[in-house]
Structure 1
Amino acid sequence: MKSSLALIMALPNESKGLFEQAQIDVHYSGIGKVNAAFKAFEVIQATGCKTLLNLGSAGSSYFERHALVEVTSFVQRDMDVSPLGFEVGVTPMDQDHPGAIDLEPYFSHLPKGVCGTGDSFETGQPKVPCNLVDMEGYAMAKVCKKLGVRLISVKYITDGADDSAHLDWEENLMLGAKKLLSLYQSITT
């Protein structure tokens, strides 16, 4: 079935089954940039969506825990080819997409953030300027840009991207799922 909006999240842990209980189709990418890129491409091809909505969790030492933050720019916090003279966060020889991929804001009431994506669970300060971190968003943004699909991304801040991040992340997922479900329902009903 073709739809103008498709919902993608990284893990069922982030929805806690609440979206499925509400009869909402969720596509799960799995963890990391490769899985996210593949699943985003697959979902766009299968659904023909014009907008991909990414809801999920993120860490931040800038935003308060439990806040919903709309991502307006994604950067790669783990792309580092600086020994060859390239700026950290920039993929060499990729003229189509510079280091940051900007998104058009959708929610007027949410704070805006720059999300650093990387294939590591961040517990420190990333090498590129950003104020929240995830493990999938940049890859989804790149696929959407290449295919001409709008990406809207909202992250629930589960942890402070610090030494206790792994404990806080799991503990805060249920509250995050409830907030993300409420946000989703506010735009689709």
Structure 2
Amino acid sequence: MMLTPLFPQVSPEDILFVFALEAEAGQVFGHLNTVFTGIGKVNAAITLTRAITRHRPRLIVNLGSAGSKRHGKGTVVCCNRFVQRDMDVTPLGFARYETPFSDMPVVLEHGTAISGLPLEACGTGDNFEVSHGDAPYDVVDMEAYVLALIARSENIPFVCLKYISDDAGSEAASDWAVQVHLAAEAFKRVLFQPR
């Protein structure tokens, strides 16, 4: 299986595919450089940092499941803006989502757009969000922000594709459990088949 010409400047062995869970990769990505971080920002940070040291990739591709009220289940979206949605130090006078005493913007911009896919902002947090109201993001996950932050700090190009597994609402947990296993085939259609 060959990658489509999405990344013509990078050979497949120089691409690191990053998933939270093996269920999101299925049997599709076994022949490529993959890493499974586990769930949450801390696990993602530790695992990606180690993987970068080991592999020195020229491109990091994060593939995973996410919730969205805007996009229906089964949609693949591309994210190139990221918000740390559980950062809230407003009692000390900081803006919501702002990391205190940091030069990081509230909305971190790092990532390549993939033609033909909806382009979105992803809110990352260490909780399973079921309501995000008027937040500055339309997609929610638990790892992408820190992956984008590390890729940016290491000056490595970054692609983030999310398979929408639930509507980030009251049925999100049960929807996710069913939909997460369909993610790999959706990513296969985007990455490996002519477009």
Q: Normalising by structure 2, report the TM-score.
A: 0.88
Distance 1:174 1:30 in 2: 16
Query: Is the Cα contact below 8 Å between 1:76 and 1:128 reproduced in 2?
Result: no
Q: Structure 2 unaligned runs (5+)?
A: 1-11
Q: 1:34 to 1:6 in 2, by over 3 A?
A: same
Measure how far apart 1:126 and its partner are: 5.7
Distance 1:80 1:186 in 2: 41
Which of 19, 43, 48 is residue 9 of structure 1 equivalent to? 19
Q: 1:66 to 1:26 in 2, by over 3 A?
A: same
Query: Is the Cα contact below 8 Å between 1:75 and 1:89 reproduced in 2?
Result: yes
Query: Is the Cα contact below 8 Å between 2:82 and 2:122 reproduced in 1?
Result: yes
Measure how far apart 1:13 and its partner are: 1.6
Structure 1 window deviating more from structure 2 (146-155 vs 2-11): it is 2-11
Query: Is the Cα contact below 8 Å between 2:86 and 2:97 reproduced in 1?
Result: yes
Alignment-derived partner of residue 128 in structure 1: 135
Q: Normalising by structure 1, report the TM-score.
A: 0.91
Residue type of the partner of 2:32? Answer: I
Measure how far apart 1:90 and its partner are: 1.0
Distance 2:132 2:168 in 1: 8
Structure 1 runs of 4+ aligned residues shifted over 3 Å read none
Residue type of the partner of 2:179? Answer: N
Indicate the SS of the match to 1:94: coil
Measure how far apart 1:128 and its partner are: 3.4
| Identity between Structure 1 and Structure 2 (%) | 34
Measure how far apart 1:186 and its partner are: 4.1
Kindly report the root-mean-square deviation, in angstroms, between the aligned alpha carbons of the 2 structures. Answer: 1.7
Q: Is residue 26 of structure 1 aligned with residue 34 of structure 2?
A: yes
Query: Is the Cα contact below 8 Å between 2:40 and 2:142 reproduced in 1?
Result: yes
Measure how far apart 1:107 and its partner are: 1.0
Q: Structure 1 unaligned runs (5+)?
A: none
Distance 1:127 1:38 in 2: 31
Alignment-derived partner of residue 42 in structure 1: 50
**Residue-by-residue CA offset, 1:105-124 (whole Å, 9 max, x unaligned):** 33111001100000001111
Indicate the SS of the match to 1:31: coil
Indicate the SS of the match to 1:64: coil
Distance 2:153 2:27 in 1: 31
Measure how far apart 1:64 and its partner are: 1.4
Alignment-derived partner of residue 115 in structure 2: 108
Query: Is the Cα contact below 8 Å between 2:166 and 2:172 reproduced in 1?
Result: yes
